[in-house]
Structure 1
Amino acid sequence: MQIAAFTLIAVVSTTASAATEAVMKQEAMRGDYQSQRNLAYSYATGWGTPQSPNYVPKKPVDACAWYRVIATSTNPKVQSADYSNEWTYCSKLSPDQSESAWILAKRLIKQIPAK
């Protein structure tokens, strides 16, 4: 039974990593909760190398902005971990970076359709 659970986790993880930055952003801008989380995490940690087709550069300000988009949304899928992610990744920014993240988050919130 554990093997099946491990396989499922691996498949989900592989599917998330298979998306390019552009695809994740497109889905996130449509209001897809999981794509927003995947994009925020990818920006927070970076993904792949510049030579890989799925490369996502580390962008701490963008990561924080997306975590703020998620945390301020009314999506019923938002959970306590989302608020924790916002605090964890945004608290690492300088005051100027945090302000830039809020500006970006506000712009994104206006562009994303309510769910």
Structure 2
Amino acid sequence: MAYIFKTQCRINVAAALATSLMLIFTPARAAEKLADLKQKALAGDYQAQRNLAFGYSDKFSDQNKNPVLACAWRMVILTTEQADETDMSNYNTYCGKLPPGLLSIAQMKAELLLRRIDTLQQ
């Protein structure tokens, strides 16, 4: 009887945990978190910019992989005071994979992002 109770209790705990995780990680919640992340990145938040670039480099959560945007954000990051060797390494790794045409597009996108960030910070 005690074994059945323990097993049933474990199943109930596992089911409750699974249900709560489903509530936390719904597509709507992921999209909301991505929108918040983009907003913070555009406001100049260094860590948000890094997280956003990572998500575009290696598909994360509800974020679609986009090597051009990943590179553009890596370029933006390099203009910040907080940029360090790892940021330069990430730039070399991810932007170095792009063909020249896509690298040019990433540069244009980075310039647009920097203008937008400057506008929002003023």
TM-score (norm 2): 0.68
Larger RCO of the pair (alpha carbons < 8 Å, separation 6+): 1
- 1:42 maps to 55
- 1:94 maps to 99
Q: In structure 2, how many angstroms separate the alpha carbons of the residues matched to 1:22 and 1:98?
A: 25
The structure that has the greater radius of gyration is 2
Alpha carbons of 1:38 and 1:18: their partners in 2 closer, same or farther (altered >3 Å)? farther
Q: In structure 2, how many angstroms separate the alpha carbons of the residues matched to 1:18 and 1:99?
A: 29
Residues 1-115 of structure 1: matches in 2 within 5 Å? 20-48=33-61, 55-73=62-80, 76-113=81-118
Q: In structure 2, how many angstroms separate the alpha carbons of the residues matched to 1:93 and 1:45?
A: 15
What is the Cα deviation at residue 18 of structure 1?
Answer: 9.6
> Equivalent residue of 1:20, what SS?
helix
Structure 1, unaligned runs of 5 or more:
1-16, 49-54
Backbone CA RMSD of aligned residues? 2.1
Divergent runs of 4+, >3 A: none
Q: How many corresponding residue pairs?
A: 91
1:47-80 alpha-carbon deviations (Å, 9 max, x no partner): 13xxxxxx1000000000000000123xx32111
> Equivalent residue of 2:65, what SS?
coil
* Identity over aligned pairs, percent: 42
Structure 2, unaligned runs of 5 or more:
1-29
What is the Cα deviation at residue 43 of structure 1?
Answer: 0.4
